[in-house]
Every structure is written in structure tokens, then in C-alpha cells.
A and B are shown apart, each in its own frame.
Chain A
């Protein structure tokens, strides 16, 4: 057992920066007048940039700290960078929106930062206990954010639904952790793997625990059949929160999911491969097919988010260096394109109210060519059409599946991508081929434009030059695999 050393403090430096940032936002909030809260947003984004810089400085380190509770490795750093970018873009998207919806409070930004800290702990957790606590920190912050629009019944309903189902899924996850502890006598990921390797365990309890863990993490990444909450919560929550929610917690869920299953449970890989493969198929199938019939764009993107969890799981099933790095890359790309798509929904207001219906996009190209073009890029990317990043993400995920011998899984994925093109391209059809009705009002402050620029550059750059990202992902996990 290592004793307490400076390594401990070094390894949690990024977490400490983000947490101090959240606390500072809470404090500064008191000093700022009511309509100046946007400075907190700028402050948060600047702080996240500093955290990102510090985190990149730690790259290459491999620190096992806090008595096996916490690990700082390339894998964690990759996801932390993803979380910073996601949080920063989400905050930039929010600035104008929260003002319009009367939820312009300092706590909003603080909660996004708290959620980010929770996600970072999840990505760095080397013990089921610390992963669980990180998950709760993230989830609790996001429950509150979902209900931030206090005047709206829908937002209240979304928060309550998310909270109740989330608490239930946490319970299932904890039950799985408890059984694992009962069987192996430890909650440490490496310890669990060592115990399974030693061949002392017998009986199906470990498989049961694994299934319960799949259920718990499956809820967080919004995979079928644990997806029931997704459409209602995504639709009801404030759009800027939905943007954050659809990207951050999903990536964090995958970060913990992948780490637990590849480091603690490789001994029963055949068992979980079957389960996750069926989850992937169901998610791709139900997500894409049900999305076709949606008329509300937030609901459509909710089902699309379920489908994308399915694609990422295809890479998960493939396993190994190639599979895991393809999932990481997919999540990174998904972050840019999904935040971009939600950013456009945030931007669009019609006749004075938020434009959340598909028909609100009708004729957008005639009114504002740039906005329509941006939305088109994001839709192309989500559908996986080259030269956008979405294509590259799917390419690497399906490639990994084929190389690992899951050709049939890749075939289903490609078929479902073709189905998904229908509802993504329908948005483009509405924008370009329909006549505009009503008065468009694009609420695009500079911050939102900046966020959209970052997102679209991310989508196009990775789409044309994916080598840098895939190398980053592969180097990150070189030590883990």
C-alpha cells in the first residue's frame, strides 16, 4: 500500500482546478449584479482552458494514487480533454439561451462545472467506489440542471423523471458492485481482475453482477433497453442543458463502462460481449427506427443519441486496442456534432418562442444561409456522410468490428446508418426545399457563434484529417491495453 505522497496531489490537479472554478463561480455570483451573469460563463470557459492546459501537461504520466482509488493515465486524460471541450461549448451555447429563459443564474455554470468534475472522477476512477461517487456527483448536478427552468412544467417533469429513474439505476449499479465485492472481496478494478484470473471464483454470481453493472452504465449512456427516460428528459430539459447532457454524461458513462469492463472483467469477456452486442443492436435498431416518426427535433435528437450509443457499443464489443480507441474517437466526434446540432436548436427561435419542432426549420435556408449550412454539416455528420467527422467515427468503429470478427454487427450498423439518413436528411429537406412560415429570429450572440464555429471546425477537420485524433486515442491507451 503506497503512503501519502505528492503524487496524490499532482494526479488530482485537474479535478482540483475544476472544483475550485465551480466554487469560485458560486462566490463571484454573489458579487455580480443580476444581468451580468455572463461574465461567470466567460470565467468558467477561461478556467476550463487552464484546466485543459494543466491536464495536457500531465500527459505521459501514469500515477496510481489514493490507495488504488484514483488513476491518472492517458485514457483518463483523453476523456478529461473531451469533457473540458464539451463543458466549454455547452457553456458558450448557454449564455444567450439562459437569459431568454429566465434561468440566468450563477449556479447554472457552477453546476455544469460540478458535473464536469464528477465526469472526470469517473474517467479516473480505479475503484468501483470512486467511480460510483463520481457518477453520483455528475448525475446529481445534471438532475438539477434538467429542472433549472423552474417555471416550465416540462422541465420539472424531466428533472423528476430523470432523478427517479437515475436513482433507481444507481441502485442497480450499487447492487452489482455489492455482489462483486461479495464474490471477490475487493472493489479495486485491478484486484477484481486478479481474483478472477486466479480461478478461485465459481458460480454465476459474478455474471449476475456484470449484468447489473451493464444495466447501471447502460442507463447512463442511454442504451436500449435502458433508454425510456431519454426522449422525455431530452425534450423537457432546457435545450442548452440537453446539449450538455447528451454529450458529457454519455461520454463519462462510456469512460467508466469501458474501464471497468476492460480492466476488471476481462476474465469473463465472452459473457459480456454477447450482452453488449445485443444492447448495441437494439440501440441502433430502436434508436434509428423510432427517430423517423419524431416531429419534435429534440426528441428526434434524443433517439439519435440512443442510436449513437449503439454505434459506440459496436466498438466496445470489438474490444482490444482498436476497438477501445475507436469508441474514444467516436465519442470525441459525437461531442462536436451533437453539440453543434443542439446549438442550432438553441439558436432558432420562431415567432418569439423556442423553435423545437421540425417544421420550425422549414425554409431556414432562404432566411439565413449560414445557419442552414451549419445545420446541414451537423446533420451530414450525424448521418455519417463524408467528408464529415461522423463518417470517420463510424468508419473506425465498424472497421474495428470487422477486424475483430463481428462483421455481422458492422453490417447491421451500416444498414441502420442508412435508415438514419432518412430523418437527418429530412431536416435538410425542410430547410432547403420548404417555404418559410412565420418569423425567424436567430438568437445568436457572439458566444454561440464562437461555439458553433468550434463545433463545425471540429467536425470538418476531423472528417478530413482523422489521423491526429486516432493517434491521440491510441497513444492514450497504449499503457492500458
Chain B
């Protein structure tokens, strides 16, 4: 019961915040609404006994990415965005389409069963060996290969940022 009320609270705030992010006219406000959004996502992770992911969510998203967004928005000094109307004629076609698709998704997901094979890390097992340790263990065994590929992706992102944004390349 507590879990359900908690989930409904967190989920509602997340959806409302997300709607605020895309409807605010001032981009700084948009970015600021992301802050409670990230915190509530972390809240859901905590309810799922994933403290480590929750901490990372707050540190990385609320801490680093948010600040980066704010910097970019402020540096770009976006004024035009304020005056341009955001809801145009094409919304009359796209909005019903999007809503229908959304309805389909919800209907399908609600009607399906989720009885997949359980992994070895049940809540009890995780509680016994500790959250961070469990993640570390899995990350460097089962997921070693994807983990290494992810590191290469980060390297490419860095190279790309330099190539595309450096003032003068010689």
C-alpha cells in the first residue's frame, strides 16, 4: 500500500514536471523544472531498492547534466523562443495521433503478463550483499563487454566534441 501511494506520488510529480519542462516559454524555467523531475526519478529508484542508481541519478543528472543545461541555455541567451507560438496548426493532426498511439501503448502494456524468468539478484539477495557491491559484481562480470564498449562511446563523444566545437583546428 505504502509502495503504491509512493509510486503514484512520484509518478504524478514526474509527469507534471515533464509537462512543465516542455510547455514553459522561458527556457531557464524549463531547465529548472527538470530538477524536481530528476529527484523524483531517484525516489522511484529508492523504492525499488536501487539506492546506488538513485544516488547516481542525483549526482549525474541533477548535479552535472542540469548545471550543463543551465549553462548552455544562459550562454545561448535564447530570447526568440519566448515570442514564438508553440502550438500551431499541425498540432491538430499530430496531437490526436500521438494520443491514440499513447492509448494503444497503455492498453497493450496493461493487458500483458510479465512473468519472465527472475534473475539471481532478487531484493533479498541484493540486501544481503549490498547494493553497490552487487552492481559492481555484475558490471565487471556479466556486463564487462558492454561496459568496455560504453567507455569507447564516451571517448568518441569527447573526440567529436573537440572536432566539432574547437575554435580553430589545425
Once the chains bind, are A129 and B143 in contact (CB under 8 Å)? yes
- B160 to chain A: closest CB distance in Å? 4
Residues from chain B with Cβ under 8 Å of A195 in the complex = 116-117
Residue of B nearest to A134 (CB): B149
- B76 to chain A: closest CB distance in Å? 14
Residue of A nearest to B157 (CB): A140
Residue of B nearest to A180 (CB): B116
Q: Which of A104-138 contact B (CB under 8 A)?
A: 105, 107, 110-111, 114, 117-118, 121, 127, 129-130, 133-134, 136-137
Once the chains bind, are B164 and A147 in contact (CB under 8 Å)? yes
Instruction: State which of B108, B141, B162 has its C-beta within 8 Å of the C-beta of A205.
Output: B108
- Classify the interface of chain B: helix, strand, loop or mixed: helix
Instruction: State which of B105, B141, B153 has its C-beta within 8 Å of the C-beta of A140.
Output: B153
Q: A144-B160, A148-B163, A185-B119 are in contact. Are A66 and B113 (CB under 8 A)?
A: no
Q: A144-B156, A185-B116, A195-B116 are in contact. Are A69 and B108 (CB under 8 A)?
A: no
Once the chains bind, are B112 and A202 in contact (CB under 8 Å)? yes
Proximity string of chain B (135-154) to chain A, C-beta cutoff 8 Å, 1 when within and 0 when not: 00000011111100110110
Measured CA separation A67–B118 after assembly (Å) = 17
The answer to whether the Cβ of A19 comes within 8 Å of any Cβ in the partner chain is yes
The answer to whether the Cβ of B89 comes within 8 Å of any Cβ in the partner chain is no
Once the chains bind, are B114 and A183 in contact (CB under 8 Å)? yes
Measured CA separation A141–B163 after assembly (Å) = 11
Q: Using C-beta atoms within 8 Å of the partner chain, give the interface range for chain B.
A: 20 to 34
Once the chains bind, are A202 and B164 in contact (CB under 8 Å)? no
- A238 to chain B: closest CB distance in Å? 13
Q: A105-B163, A144-B159 are in contact. Are A114 and B152 (CB under 8 A)?
A: yes
Once the chains bind, are A137 and B112 in contact (CB under 8 Å)? no
Residue of B nearest to A185 (CB): B116
Residues from chain A with Cβ under 8 Å of B118 in the complex = 185
- A61 to chain B: closest CB distance in Å? 17
Residues from chain A with Cβ under 8 Å of B116 in the complex = 181-186, 195
Measured CA separation A280–B158 after assembly (Å) = 37
Residues from chain A with Cβ under 8 Å of B109 in the complex = 179, 205, 208
Residue of A nearest to B169 (CB): A105
Once the chains bind, are B156 and A137 in contact (CB under 8 Å)? yes
Once the chains bind, are B117 and A121 in contact (CB under 8 Å)? no
Proximity string of chain A (147-181) to chain B, C-beta cutoff 8 Å, 1 when within and 0 when not: 11010000000010000000000000000000101
- A249 to chain B: closest CB distance in Å? 14
- B108 to chain A: closest CB distance in Å? 5
Q: A66-B144, A148-B163, A186-B116 are in contact. Are A133 and B149 (CB under 8 A)?
A: yes
Q: A114-B156, A144-B163, A148-B163 are in contact. Are A202 and B113 (CB under 8 A)?
A: yes
Proximity string of chain B (39-83) to chain A, C-beta cutoff 8 Å, 1 when within and 0 when not: 000000000000000000000000000000000000000000000
Once the chains bind, are B160 and A111 in contact (CB under 8 Å)? yes
Measured CA separation A129–B145 after assembly (Å) = 10
The answer to whether the Cβ of A219 comes within 8 Å of any Cβ in the partner chain is no
The answer to whether the Cβ of B115 comes within 8 Å of any Cβ in the partner chain is yes
Q: Which of A367-400 contact B (CB under 8 A)?
A: none
- B113 to chain A: closest CB distance in Å? 5
Residues from chain A with Cβ under 8 Å of B142 in the complex = 1, 67, 69
Proximity string of chain B (98-132) to chain A, C-beta cutoff 8 Å, 1 when within and 0 when not: 00000001001101111111110000000000000
Q: A114-B156, A136-B153, A140-B160 are in contact. Are A182 and B113 (CB under 8 A)?
A: no
The answer to whether the Cβ of A254 comes within 8 Å of any Cβ in the partner chain is no
Instruction: State which of A1, A12, A111 has its C-beta within 8 Å of the C-beta of B159.
Output: A111
The answer to whether the Cβ of A56 comes within 8 Å of any Cβ in the partner chain is no
Residues from chain A with Cβ under 8 Å of B156 in the complex = 111, 114, 137, 140-141, 144
**For the complex of A and B, 7 pairs with smallest distance between CB atoms:** A185-B116, A203-B112, A205-B112, A144-B160, A66-B145, A185-B117, A133-B149
- Chain A residues with CB under 8 Å of chain B are 1, 4, 12, 19, 26, 34, 65-67, 69-70, 105, 107, 110-111, 114, 117-118, 121, 127, 129-130, 133-134, 136-137, 140-141, 143-144, 147-148, 150, 159, 179, 181-186, 191, 195, 200-208
- Chain B residues with CB under 8 Å of chain A are 105, 108-109, 111-119, 141-146, 149-150, 152-153, 155-157, 159-160, 162-164, 169-170
24 A-B Cβ contacts within 8 A? A26-B159, A34-B170, A65-B145, A67-B144, A69-B143, A105-B163, A105-B169, A111-B163, A114-B159, A121-B149, A133-B153, A140-B160, A144-B159, A150-B169, A159-B164, A182-B116, A183-B114, A184-B117, A185-B116, A191-B117, A200-B115, A203-B108, A205-B114, A208-B108
